[in-house]
Each structure stands twice: as C-alpha cells, then as structure tokens.
Structure 1
C-alpha cells in the first residue's frame, strides 16, 4: 500500500485543518484523519480514479466528521453561549471538556478561533458545504457528489451558511499577523506583566472593550475594568508564572506554567490598538500538545 501512502501523506495537513474546522476539536480532528486514512487504505484497491485522490479523501473525511458532529452537540466558547458575567468574584459554572472548542497549534490564520467558533454555529451539513466550497474550493458538482446531494441543494445550503456567518460574524478586519512587530510587542508586554505580577502594565495593553474567557468556566468578562479585576486575582506574586510564547490558531499566545507546573494555554486576540481578547484554556494537557509541535517562539 505504498502507493496509497505516497498519495495520501501530502494531504494530511489539509485534511486535519478541515476536520478541525468541522469539529472544533484538535484531538477529534486527529481521530477523524486517522479514521479517514484507515478507510482509504482499506478501499485503495477499489479506487477507480474517477476523481482525484484529494477529492476522494475529502469525501471520506467529511463524512467521518459529519457522523462525529451528529453524535454530539456543538462546541463553543463561553462568549458564544451567554452574556458577560457581572460578578467577577462569583463561583462560575464549569463546562464539560467535550463542549468547548479546543486550541490548535500553529500559525494558520485561517484557523483563528473566531472563525472556528462561527463555523460551529452552523448545522453540520451546512458547515461541510461552506468549507468544501469556500475554503477548499471544490465545485458545486463535486460537493454534491461528495455529500450525495443535488447541486441545487448544495447551492441553497451554501447560501444559508453564508448568511448565518454574516449574521454572527467570523472575525474582525483589523487583526495583525502573529509574527508582526505589533503582535510581538503586545505579547511581550503581556508576558512580562504576568511574570512580574504587574496588573497596571497588564491593564495598559488591554483595549477598553477587551474580553476575557477562562475555560472550562462558563462565565466570561467584558470591558477593561472587569478583565483587570480578574487578572489582579490571578497574577499572584512575581515569579509565580512562567509564560512560553507560542502561536496557536494563527494567533499569538502563551503556554502558561504556575509554580513550575503546566497550567494551560492563553490565546490573544491582538489588534492594531491593543489586546481585544484573551481566551484561556485551563487544561495542562494543552501545554504539552502545543509545545510539542515546535511552535514556541522567543521573546524580543
């Protein structure tokens, strides 16, 4: 089956990104790609080359993802579930891990968290049609064959999906690249402020409309004042935190260690005029997953 391996291996990154957009979960996306390769390997002898290997594998992986998505509810971020909390000191509800979007290591800006979260608001079939047409650039006829739909149904589904994304928004226009000097400056300021327990410095880099999400907590906070109060309770003393700079979902972020132990991943929404949002994924397992992908970057 070396022919299959040679044909399928170059497509792994594309299949993984597609699965992540479909499912909102890194580990579920990995599982979907593994299942796709297993099915493809078993069916390779019967592959008739009526379509390209790329089209064939995307048909398989899309159906794997659709089955997975139908078996559970949608994943989301706290800001996509409810309104901001009005008590920064309240005891928040905790979301089960299978309900929240997971971070994805790497510098692909087409996997920004806002875009992935917006995708999760679509019904699974609409999500698949939109991704296959608008992201992967398959034709309506190809998508219809992949999903066993009529071309008219594909076009109708795509129109509804586009309208829904326009309604919920899929990301701002003023984001900056994670490797840009502006992003590096704001990330460095965030890291230094946390490691030195300097709440005032941390507040300075936040925009007035900044938001803070602290998964697995359901509660989230909006506005510089409330975000600063939460940060003030979290920073502790100088030296409590160590932050390794990383790139996650095409955004600057940190792999955080508290008292020398892995804590989680923070992903920053950096704009031209400051940090507009911080999403903290409080799961120590993400630290190892992200840093193992060699996306740790040095400070200035």
Structure 2
C-alpha cells in the first residue's frame, strides 16, 4: 500500500469497519472462549485487513471478507497456542462452565437472529453454548458458528474457510452433533424469556442475598439448579446441596450485589464485607441463567479483575 493510497483509504476503512467491530469481537469470543484472546484476534485481524484493504475491489463484500480474516486468525490461534486442558470426564449434569480459561462476556447488542441462523443471537453467546463450542475441533467450531449463528450459506461458509462445500457441510454436521451431545435440545428454537420477568427475578435474588435469607434464595432456584465457581473445581446441584453450601460458607458473611449483565444474561458484581477496612470488597461476578421462571444456574467467576470491564467498582462503602 503506497503512502498516497494510505491517505486516501484510511478514512474509508475506519468508517466501514467501525459498525462491524463489535460483532467481530463477539465472533472471536465464541471461537476462543476468552475476551482477552478475542481482543488479540480482532486487533490482529484488523491490522491484516488494513494492510490488504486496497486489494478489496468490491467494498460490498467487506463483512464476509473480515469474517474470513478473523475466523482464520482464530483457527491459527487454536492451532498454535499452548493446548489448554479440557475436563473430559464430566459427571452427569456437571456444568459445562468447568473450563479454566472461559470468561464472561460484557454485553453487546445480542438480540435477534440472522435470517438463516438456527440460534438466537442472545442464545448463541450464553456461557453454556460458548463452553460447548470449546470442545469442538477448530474447523467444526468455525463451520457451526458461521452457519448456525451468523447465517452464512453453505457456499459462503466454504469460501470463508477456503474448503469445499462438502467439507464445510461435514464439519457443520459433526459440530452440531458435538454441541447437541453436551447441550441436548438446545439447538431447537425456544421462545425468549420475558426481560421484565428476568429483571424482577434478578432483583429478588440480590435482595435475598443481601438479607442473608437462604430460604428466599433457594425458593428462586429450579429443582435441578447448578452452582459453580470457576476456577474452583467444586460445584453443586439441586436445592439441598446448594442450600447446605450457602449456609456453610457464603451466607455466614455480609454481601452487597450490583446488577450488571454478561453473555446476554443478568449478572451481579458481588461484594464481601471487610470489617477492618469497613468496605464491601469485590469478590466475584455471578452470571445467572433463567429458565421457566426460575434460576437454573449460577456461575460465580471468582475474579475481581473482571469488574472494570463490566463497569463495576472494586469496592462499595457501607
């Protein structure tokens, strides 16, 4: 790219790419399961796109071109980064969020569905769905996301992955089978939960925690609810187990909750009272999953370092 072409095309590149940055970042997050890895993938993809922008003669093809670059960058990262451990012997019902590097995602606009996609955009950024993707080989993961989440056609997917249509379809079917095995029935379209109902349920949950009322907390949970605390390996399932855990540990202390959102779901910054400093200190980011009017899962990420990305303070006064 010459100096003259740089001066000419830079404003055009920035103007055309700006509306696509957020969706590219979500795409890389789905592929990699990590916000930080997605940051790197998007940055490197846009640098590569900028360097080759003068070769893109059809500006209308910018979006699929960027997705091809970003997807290939994610596949390269998956191949070259140190292989990460995956829990392979999950007991029945174990939370799929039992993956050490999985991170919650600060919400973008995740409403709606692409015309030819199988998944609602919000459903396709759920923690459990993103976790299930991490068990798939890279090519299967990419084919499923491009087809079932983003709604690209078989031909377009093959072109983006630079493989044959038959190979793309084969990767898609294997990817669907892999996700279905870990999330039975989740590929079927479901009516979206009512946002007002979810917000009210979240408010009641926070109030119950701040009151230290274990009965009120448990009353908001489904009978088969799960409670996990990445990166700790311990997790709990069912009302008796969760009730016993809460009474034996967390509810011996004072808490404050601040509402946020992550992965298209309600989330809370949770703060533990520190007597010596007389402040509530950041403890964990809790993401809740609501199904059929009850809280079906709580994933408590024990990492206060996440709070700034979610617009949450690191401590609260009394």
Report TM bin, short chain: 0.7 to 0.9
Q: Secondary structure at the match of 1:257?
A: strand
Q: CA deviation at 1:225?
A: 0.8
Deviations 1:233-285 (A, max 9, x none): 11224xx2111111211111211111221112101111224111100001001
> CA separation of 1:178/1:252 partners in 2, compared to 1, >3 Å: closer, same or farther?
farther
Q: Secondary structure at the match of 2:311?
A: helix
> CA separation of 1:16/1:262 partners in 2, compared to 1, >3 Å: closer, same or farther?
same
Q: Following the alignment from structure 1 to structure 2, what is the Cα–Cα distance between the partners of residues 284 and 137?
A: 36
Matched, 1:234 2:250: yes
Q: Following the alignment from structure 2 to structure 1, what is the Cα–Cα distance between the partners of residues 286 and 85?
A: 18
> CA separation of 1:81/1:21 partners in 2, compared to 1, >3 Å: closer, same or farther?
farther
Tell me the residue number matched to 1:41. Answer: 50
Matched, 1:9 2:24: no
Tell me the residue number matched to 2:115. Answer: none
Q: CA deviation at 1:54?
A: 0.4
Which runs of 5 or more residues in structure 2 are unaligned? 1-9, 111-121, 274-279, 313-318
Q: Following the alignment from structure 1 to structure 2, what is the Cα–Cα distance between the partners of residues 280 and 175?
A: 26
Quick one: higher RCO (CA 8 Å, sep 6+), 1 or 2? 1
Q: Secondary structure at the match of 2:52?
A: helix
CA RMSD in angstroms, aligned pairs only: 2.6
Q: CA deviation at 1:130?
A: 1.1
Q: Following the alignment from structure 1 to structure 2, what is the Cα–Cα distance between the partners of residues 111 and 241?
A: 28
- Where do 1:1-300 residues align within 5 Å? 1-49=10-58, 52-70=61-79, 71-73=81-83, 82-83=90-91, 99-106=100-107, 108=110, 109=122, 110-169=124-183, 171=186, 177=193, 179-181=195-197, 183-232=198-247, 233-237=249-253, 240-259=254-273, 260-291=280-311
Q: CA deviation at 1:75?
A: 7.5
Q: CA deviation at 1:2?
A: 1.1
Tell me the residue number matched to 2:119. Answer: none
Q: Secondary structure at the match of 1:221?
A: strand
Q: CA deviation at 1:6?
A: 1.1
Contact 1:144 1:150 in 2 (8 A): yes
**TM-score by structure 1 length?**
0.84
> CA separation of 1:118/1:134 partners in 2, compared to 1, >3 Å: closer, same or farther?
same
Which runs of 5 or more residues in structure 1 are unaligned? 87-94, 293-300
**TM-score by structure 2 length?**
0.80
Q: Secondary structure at the match of 1:235?
A: helix
Deviations 1:109-159 (A, max 9, x none): 231112111212211111101111222122222222222211111111111
Q: Following the alignment from structure 2 to structure 1, what is the Cα–Cα distance between the partners of residues 66 and 177?
A: 28
Q: Following the alignment from structure 2 to structure 1, what is the Cα–Cα distance between the partners of residues 15 and 73?
A: 22
Q: Which moved more, 1:278-287 or 1:143-152?
A: 143-152
Contact 1:195 1:242 in 2 (8 A): yes
Q: Secondary structure at the match of 2:58?
A: coil
